[in-house]
Structure 1
Amino acid sequence: MTSINRGATHAFATVLSNKRVGQYHQILLGVGDLVKVCKPGNFVAIKVGGDSSRMILRRAFAISRVAESTSFGGTMELIAAPHGSGSQWLCSQPEGSEIDIVAPLGTAFGIPTSPVNALLVGGGYGSAPLFGLAEVLKSRGCKVDMLLGASTGGKIYAPMEGKRSVNSLKIYTEDGTMGQTGRVTEPIVDLIKAGSVDVIYSCGPMGMLSAISKLTEGTDVVHQCAVEEAMACGIGICMTCVLPVKGSDGQVSMLRSCIDGPVMDGADVQWHLVGQTPQVQQ
């Protein structure tokens, strides 16, 4: 039986701050000793809507980073965009309110045991978990470069924070309103050819993750991606977040993003089959 989520804890977290950062909200939660078991790539499932809510299912949010301080103890940072009813509720919570959470959930990014050249690629606010990952990688002696991309400059999350977290940062927007004009995947081929990348960590839209996997195909570069498949229960029961993934035996199975992910080997995900109904073998 899988050991994923065995360390998850049900807890009540206090909202320490809720700041608007561009189009997003940066929410800091007080979570105590829970930070000791949270790793980059994990997510948290939050009960949204309050006691009288009709939003029965919890909402999954990627953990941006965790930290410990003398002022607040263990803290967990979340980045949310107030789009759906669940995220709108979370973004409306004032300082001092209590949030019902289950964390940490899912698989985390694999951290190399020796220094490597790491390239972090983020799309929109999906890039937020990469900042905490960058700090861990740099503490291990890795060279960390980052590419951030979005359709427009307003959707790039905290570019100045990105600059402080990594050795180098380049920004790409499709409309040219920030950084260079183009897609965030465009420079990856040249970086691989130059031998300046050993592993790519990515987080963002599924189309971006698929494109990176194609670019790394046939190379020695490892691609670890945090998939953005919609999750309902977040604990592996409902089977709504399944993805076609090739196993070591070459067989394709429908794996749950919340249990076998969200971090997966991009080379194993069968991107051309995502969204299709799997054929049942007789």
Structure 2
Amino acid sequence: MTSYLTEPAAPAAQPPVQREVAVLAARPVGAYVELTLAAPEIADRAQPGQFVAFAVGGPMTAHLLRRSIAIAGVDAGPGAGTVTVVVAPHGPGSTWLAQRRVGDAVDVVGPLGRPFPLPDPGVPALLVGGGYGAAALVGLASLLRARGSRVLAVTGAADAARLCSVAELGEVADVVAVTTDDGSAGRPGRVTVAVAELIGEAGIAYACGPMPMLRAVADAATAAGVPSYVAVEESMACGIGVCMTCVLPVVGEDGLTRFSRSCTEGPVFGGDRVRFADVGALPWDVVGADAMGVVAP
């Protein structure tokens, strides 16, 4: 087995902006809602893997924290300047956002976070999306294809309604494999079956989706000697690195584990740098654990 410690993604090239923008389009996409926003300054700055953070609930809301949503696509061409996101309505904040209609105004900050690092032109890439996480990979697939890479895509979900961006990936990827847990679309089972079949054709792997899926893709890539990058879905209460609620144990270039903020050091991390087994825990060997009274086992 070859093991890689993939380098962290570089910081974004331009700083984020905060703007009140108009909703240009809103349409249901299976179990989700796709919103298109008139946000030219964000579109000009955005790179695949980054996200935006919305104020939710309106001017008199009790929901003080923003909701962070991955950027699904941008159109920065002349006369365009749009940003697209796919919203999964879960709690009150995301449900409010999913209920926005054409002409509504929303307060948004972006682009935030570090984007996906790119391989050398022509390196074949495997992209794996779970649920609405697949939406964040469409722009990456287009960029890789434009740089001469063969793009292999896998998208999976619990059922057909929770699949996302299958058609969009089909327009830019050379291969698209679809899986659902219940077999209602594509082949039955999890994405790991398709990943195992395709990883040998890739020179780099990317993934966005639930944490167990990210771990499985990272493990498969490392076992195959392929570097991987994952966009994590940890809850981001502030989105700008202040509150420390989205920290993960991540191995640094010096081999030491530190708690890294998903919103600023991420959301993209090297797949074999994230200590998935210790997410949500306080490892004894993380930098600073001794000051908190944690002792080695």
- What is the TM-score when the length of structure 2 is the normalising length? 0.89
Write the letter of the residue equivalent to 2:143.
Answer: V
**How many Å separate the matches in 1 of 2:120 and 2:198?**
23
User: What is the aligned partner in structure 1 of residue 245 from structure 2?
Assistant: 240
Which consecutive residues of structure 2, in runs of 5 or more, have no partner in the other structure? 1-9, 292-297
- Map 1:197-276 → 2, pairs under 5 A: 197-276=202-281
The aligned runs of 1:157-236 (5 Å cut-off) are 157-192=164-199, 195-236=200-241
Matched letter for residue 173 of structure 1: T
User: What fraction of aligned residue pairs are identical, expressed as a percent?
Assistant: 40
Whether 1:21 aligns to 2:29 is yes
2:151 maps to what in 1? 144
Residue of structure 1 in register with 2:68 after alignment: 60
For residue 272 of structure 1, report the CA deviation from its aligned partner: 1.1
Aligned to 1:281, which of 268, 286, 290? 290
Match of 2:162 in 1: 155
Q: Is the 8 A contact 2:250 2:258 kept in 1?
A: yes
How far has the Cα of 1:93 moved from its partner?
1.2
Closer, same or farther in 2 for the Cα pair 1:166/1:3, shift >3 Å? closer
**Relative to structure 1, is the Cα distance of residues 68 and 6 closer, same or farther in structure 2, using a 3 angstrom cutoff?**
closer
State whether structure 2 residue 108 is matched by structure 1 residue 101.
Answer: yes
More strand by share: 1
Q: Which amino acid aligns with 2:235?
A: A
1:38 paired residue among 40, 46, 58 = 46
Check if 1:91 corresponds to 2:71.
no
Q: Give the letter for the 1:24 counterpart.
A: Y
CA apart distance, 1:68 = 2.9
Match of 1:281, as an amino acid?
A: D
Q: Is the 8 A contact 1:5 1:106 kept in 2?
A: no
**2: CA distance between counterparts of 1:242 and 1:114?**
32
Query: Would the aligned equivalents of 1:48 and 1:89 in 2 still touch at CA under 8 Å?
Result: yes
Unaligned runs of 5+ in 1: none
Q: CA deviation at 1:4?
A: 5.4
Contact 2:126 2:198 in 1 (8 A): no
Alignment partners' CA distance in 2, 1:13 and 1:153: 32
Deviations 1:18-65 (A, max 9, x none): 111211111000012321110000100110110010000111010001
2:32 & 2:278 partners in 1: Cα distance? 32
Q: Distance in 2 between matches of 1:109 and 1:154?
A: 27
Q: Say whether residues 1:128 and 2:166 are aligned partners.
A: no
1:72-93 alpha-carbon deviations (Å, 9 max, x no partner): 5200000001221111111111
Equivalent residue for 2:295?
A: none
3-state secondary structure, aligned to 2:228: strand
Deviations 1:99-156 (A, max 9, x none): 1111010000012232111111000111101111111111111101110111111111
The residue matched to 1:186 in structure 2 has which SS? helix
1:221 counterpart SS class: coil
Matched residue SS, 2:202: coil
Q: Which is worse superposed, 236-245 or 91-100?
A: 91-100
1:28 and 1:213 map into 2 onto residues whose CA distance is 31
Whole-Å Cα distance in 2 between the matches of residues 202 and 144 of structure 1?
A: 13
1:235 and 1:120 map into 2 onto residues whose CA distance is 27
| Distance (Å, rounded) in 1 between the aligned partners of 2:266 and 2:11 | 13
Match of 1:12 in 2: 20
- Contact 1:4 / 1:259 at 8 angstroms: preserved in 2? no
**Cα pair 1:5 1:105 within 8 Å, conserved:** no
Summarize the Cα distance change of 1:250–1:68 in structure 2 as closer, same or farther, 3 Å threshold.
closer
Residues of 2 paired with 1:94 and 1:224: CA distance? 34
Q: Say how many residue pairs are matched.
A: 278
Greater CA deviation, 140-149 or 6-15? 6-15
Equivalent residue of 2:193, what SS?
A: coil
User: Counterparts of 2:11 and 2:138 in 1: how far apart (Å)?
Assistant: 26
Partner of 2:122: 115
